[in-house]
Structure 1
Amino acid sequence: MIVDIFFESKLVASYTINIGMLTGGEPLRSDFIKEAVRCAKEDDLLTDEKLEKATFELRR
């Protein structure tokens, strides 16, 4: 699943999240978003302040 992260209508980051990267049973949309947010924070592309206003788009 590809998760695009937008802030103020601009693409901030795009991550390909594989089901194998997630733990637990059948992953939900929110699980993919949480993993993408974790990656974006780790890469210093997203702050907590920006996260409040961020929007997400999931695609296969």
Structure 2
Amino acid sequence: NVSSVAKRESDRRRAKSRVNIGAAFDSWRELRSALGIKTDPELAFFLLRQPWLMWSCSYERAH
């Protein structure tokens, strides 16, 4: 069946970028809702662009 092959391939590609956040999942959903962000990738991108995170990452690399 062509559609099942396509679905397996789609699932395989999606699994490569999947991140398990375990117990933080409910907090993630609450934050996403509170910020009015529609998708998980949009929330991840939003958080990664935050200045405090960029400073923290730069500091860790320097020390």
| TM-score by shorter chain over 0.5 | no
Q: Name the one with the larger helix percent.
A: 2
TM-score of the pair, normalised by structure 1: 0.32
TM-score of the pair, normalised by structure 2: 0.31
Pick the structure with greater CA Rg.
Answer: 2
With CA pairs under 8 Å and 6+ residues apart, which has the higher RCO, 1 or 2? 1
